[in-house]
Chains A and B, each alone.
Chain A
């Protein structure tokens, strides 16, 4: 089955700096790549997604890039704010199910 690896496991940045989280996937047939944000004690929430026919997608301060050849995709958060502190999960989907990375704990220091 699909295997998704996510790095780094923890990331600490100063408020206003950028944060980048990277994921790789194993199955070249995967065609949908969402990112989820999970605050402490809460459910994961979809923040952005990208399909395999698109190389980049942006939504205000967050963006996702996809390199199908290398089988990796990344989340970019610019102008980070303390409320961006959370655990972020990448995922890759092929067919009926979706596999998740192990998560990145992002801490934004004021």
Chain B
């Protein structure tokens, strides 16, 4: 039982490049989330999904896109990377609205 798995764990991008971060969960959770974590700012919600085929914007969605084609997978795309997107990205999932998150191990992204 792997829980929530994120790939890749580390990545360095040049400004303007694109990439996709993959999140996979094996707990049959309906709800999935993408957060970014920056020093002193806690965790900020980028996008989330309440079920297969659904997505919604969070606090800081600009410059990112997401897709939830399968219930177990939630993809985060960066269309044209910028240095301001240098951050640690965490994926999370949960069973329903009154349960806590299970987090993935994070992706450290550096945009140069």
What residues make up the interface of A, taking CB atoms closer than 8 Å to B? 1, 6, 9, 31-32, 34, 36, 42-46, 49, 51, 89, 93, 95-103
Contacts and interface: CB of A to CB of B under 8 A. Distances in A.
Contacts, number: 58
Contact of A43 (B59, B90, B99): B90
Interface stretch (B19-27, B76-84, B102-110): B102-110
Given A51-B98, A96-B56, A97-B45, A43 B104 contact: yes
A1 B101 contact: no
Interface of B: 31, 33, 35, 40-45, 48, 50, 56, 58-59, 90, 97-106
Given A96-B50, A98-B45, A103-B40, 10 more contacts: A6-B42, A43-B106, A44-B103, A46-B101, A51-B98, A93-B97, A93-B98, A96-B48, A97-B56, A102-B41
Contacts of B45: 97-99
SS class, residues of chain A in contact with chain B: strand
Contacts of B100: 34, 36, 46, 49
A44 B40 contact: no
B99 to A, nearest CB: 8
Contacts of A6: 42
B97 A95 contact: yes
Contacts of B99: 32, 49
